[in-house]
Structure 1
Amino acid sequence: MARLPTLFISHGSPMLAIQSSPANLYLRQLGHDLSRPSAILVISAHWETNGGLAVSVAEEPSTIHDFGGFPRELFEIHYPAQGARNVGLQAADLLQQAGLAVQVNPTRGLDHGAWVPLCLMYPEADIPVTQVSLKHGLSPAEHLQIGRALSSLRDQGVLIIGSGSLTHNLYEFGGQEIDALVPTWVSEFDAWMTKHLEKQDMDALLNYRDKAPHAARNHPTEEHIWPLFVALGAAGDLSTVKRLHASYEYGVLAMDLYSFD
């Protein structure tokens, strides 16, 4: 079974699913470029729990349209992948072995942080999918540990995806066009993250909130950057960091995509 890299995907707006853009086109190709996974495990910015982690063991996860104000076409998309129940149960066991409190959720569907990129990468929806939540209030280092606990699933051909956004301040969205100019507070943060990811400077990355320029402005809340640290941790001892794609949408969303191996 091929051991796949872990991925961090910036999923941006739900419009990514239906609107042509460099990121949309790249994700459509990425599924062809990767070895076929046995299952997919997604850690999404849009599932955050209190008190402990949660793992979906739904056998037929629903497609959650967890947004409003978008075209009807988006609400008509359904991603009918089977649930990766056994992978979810293994993930829960691995997290518990790492000393983390975790509950299994028998009904949790796929939020748009999962199904939007997956409907582009694997439009046939023929690979089982499960999700693991983020935990509210944990640090980047603690989310890194969550990833490390899940790392051995890669030996079974499981593709582990952290789905968030390298920058994510929707308070400053302002209704721009998709090709709006990128402000320096976005590009400087993006450049800093790229530099330290490629250097594998974990001290700087784990303390990005204090060290990166405009960190709080790019992430008023941190749930969209936490999946990056889970994906980093799931890669184990890093040997390669690859920036597979870089573009911007609506000025404030850096659509970077990384593989870690």
Structure 2
Amino acid sequence: MPRLVEKEHSMRTPSLFPTYFISHGGGPWPWMKREMGDAYAQLEASLADIPRQIGRTPRAILMVSAHWEMPAFTVQGSAKPPMIYDYGGFPAHTYQVHYDAPGSPELARRVQQLIATAGLPAGFDAERGFDHGTFSPMAAIYPNADVPVVQLSLKRGLDPAEHLALGRALAPLRGEDVLVVGSGLSYHNLRNFGPQARDVSRAFDDWLDASVVQAAPGERTARLIDWAAAPAARMAHPREEHLIPLMVAVGAAESEAGERIYHETDFMGGIAVSSFRFGAL
């Protein structure tokens, strides 16, 4: 099993990794190319480019998935996480797919410690598996499943300030060769998808880019706390679980610049979607 701490790295201090907020797509899309054609080609290319961007292989990835909510921030502690097929109505073969990356109980305990030290509620789940908010994008980022991955839950209530605080608590991991990724979707309204969502998705996407890329860091934080006042906010996110991982990624790089690394204006027939990176490379 890959170790979080390796002897050959013990004498150096690595530069800080950036953090990411990625749009993870719908369900088990990497295993549905025959059915979906090139619908995910641009998203897949953007995810596959992350290893090139960061320039070195992380010792582990901490993935904050939109598909896991708990009463307290809870860390996945399994050394060999199982699969959670948390979707419905997809082809039978997508309920047999596997992404067999190892977990890292060592990193999980470190994450739990950082969260608790920050005065936030911190739980540990030794049985939790990978949901599609993790295994679908990871199949594009590291298709060989050879980098340890640990999931971290959202906290019920989905308070943006609490999740920004979570990101601040996790910031030390960036200097420990751990890549922090928030996995959600920049637009997530399954009842208003396709061409009819073109205008509202673009309005929110424009606000998102202005807030996390163009705004100064202090203004960015204030805008994210008050995100529900954004144009078309509740049309883009009737429930905000797919947006809240962004707060964690921003909190962990709060004083640093943001950059949009993926953008489509015609995703799934009309949706504007984006992914972002925070912190220098």
Same fold (TM over 0.5): yes
Separation (CA, whole Å) in 2 of partners of 1:149 and 1:17: 32
Separation (CA, whole Å) in 2 of partners of 1:15 and 1:187: 25
Letter in 2 for 1:255: V
Letter in 2 for 1:99: G
Per-residue deviation at 1:2? 4.0
Of stretches 76-85 and 36-45 in structure 1, the one that deviates more from structure 2 is 76-85
**Contact 2:20–2:180 (CA<8 Å) still a contact in 1?**
yes
2:273 maps to which of 240, 245, 255: 255
Tell me whether 1:208 sits opposite 2:190 in the alignment.
Answer: no
After superposition, the CA RMSD in angstroms is 1.7
1:22 maps to which of 42, 62, 71: 42
1:193 maps to which of 208, 212, 231: 208
Letter in 1 for 2:81: P
Per-residue deviation at 1:84? 1.6
Aligned residue in 2 for 1:183:
198
Gaps of 5+ in 2: 1-13
* TM-score, reference length from structure 2: 0.85
Letter in 2 for 1:39: A
Tell me whether 1:223 sits opposite 2:238 in the alignment.
Answer: no
CA-to-partner distance for each residue in 1:205-249, whole Å, 9 max, x for gaps?
221102x111011101010000000010112421x2110110142
**Contact 1:8–1:257 (CA<8 Å) still a contact in 2?**
yes
Tell me whether 1:246 sits opposite 2:263 in the alignment.
Answer: yes
Separation (CA, whole Å) in 1 of partners of 2:243 and 2:134: 15
Separation (CA, whole Å) in 1 of partners of 2:269 and 2:69: 26
**Contact 1:169–1:218 (CA<8 Å) still a contact in 2?**
yes
Secondary structure of 2:67's partner?
strand
Tell me whether 1:64 sits opposite 2:79 in the alignment.
Answer: no
Separation (CA, whole Å) in 1 of partners of 2:59 and 2:121: 26
Aligned residue in 1 for 2:62:
41
Aligned residue in 1 for 2:154:
134
Separation (CA, whole Å) in 2 of partners of 1:65 and 1:253: 25
**Contact 2:202–2:271 (CA<8 Å) still a contact in 1?**
no
**Contact 1:172–1:252 (CA<8 Å) still a contact in 2?**
no
Tell me whether 1:8 sits opposite 2:21 in the alignment.
Answer: yes
Letter in 1 for 2:90: F
Per-residue deviation at 1:255? 3.3
Letter in 2 for 1:132: L
Sort the Cα spacing of 1:135 and 1:260 in 2 relative to 1 into closer, same or farther, 3 A: same
The total of aligned residue pairs comes to: 253
Aligned residue in 2 for 1:105:
125
Gaps of 5+ in 1: none
Aligned residue in 2 for 1:84:
104
1:150 maps to which of 165, 170, 177: 170
Aligned residue in 1 for 2:114:
94
Separation (CA, whole Å) in 2 of partners of 1:191 and 1:16: 26
Secondary structure of 1:184's partner?
helix
* TM-score, reference length from structure 1: 0.91
**Contact 2:104–2:150 (CA<8 Å) still a contact in 1?**
yes
Aligned residue in 1 for 2:6:
none
**Contact 1:165–1:253 (CA<8 Å) still a contact in 2?**
no
Letter in 1 for 2:174: R
Separation (CA, whole Å) in 1 of partners of 2:185 and 2:234: 14
1:161 maps to which of 173, 177, 181: 181
Separation (CA, whole Å) in 1 of partners of 2:123 and 2:90: 32
**Contact 2:22–2:275 (CA<8 Å) still a contact in 1?**
yes
